[in-house]
Structure formats: structure tokens, C-alpha cells
Amino acid sequence: MKNYVVKALVVFDDYEGLETIPENPKTKRNIGDIFNVTKERYEHLKGLNFVVLVGIDKIEEPKKVTKKKK
């Protein structure tokens, strides 16, 4: 789930976790671009000093439905 909101610190081609080959789709990220990634992708990009965390979108937990016994 892409709930980590990050901001690009450098210009880079984002293959979004796919292998870095010309056949795979990519998105050009510019300095200041804000986009969503998964936790694992954020940690990878942060390790390369490509992004900084802006925030984490709240994930709504499914509500538990309980049945009342008569």
C-alpha cells in the first residue's frame, strides 16, 4: 500500500521497484516532486538520499462487526 508521502531531493528516473532496464516503465522525478510510495520503497530511496519523508497517509482499519446474541 502506497501510504508514505515523500519529496524528491534529486532528479532521478523512478522505476518504482522494477528492474532498471529500458523496457520497464519509468517516471522522471524532479527536485520537489511529491509522490506516494510503499514503506519498503521509501526506505530504499531514503538510503540513496533521493527522498525525504513528508508524511504518512492514515490507513483506515476495517471496522469489526459484532453480532449481538439474543
- pLDDT per position as a tens digit, 16-65: 888 888 888 999 999 999 999 999 999 999 999 999 999 998 866 666 77
The pLDDT, as a whole number, for residue 37 is 93
Domain boundaries, the chain: 4-56
The pLDDT, as a whole number, for residue 60 is 66
Starting from the edge strand earliest in sequence, which strands make up the sheet with 4-8, in order? 34-37, 4-8, 51-56
Residue 11 pLDDT more than 90?
A: yes
The pLDDT, as a whole number, for residue 18 is 84
pTM, whole model, 2 decimals? 0.75
Q: Is 51 left (phi over 0), alpha (psi -120 to 50) or beta?
A: beta
Contact 9, 50 (CB under 8 A): yes
The pLDDT, as a whole number, for residue 4 is 93
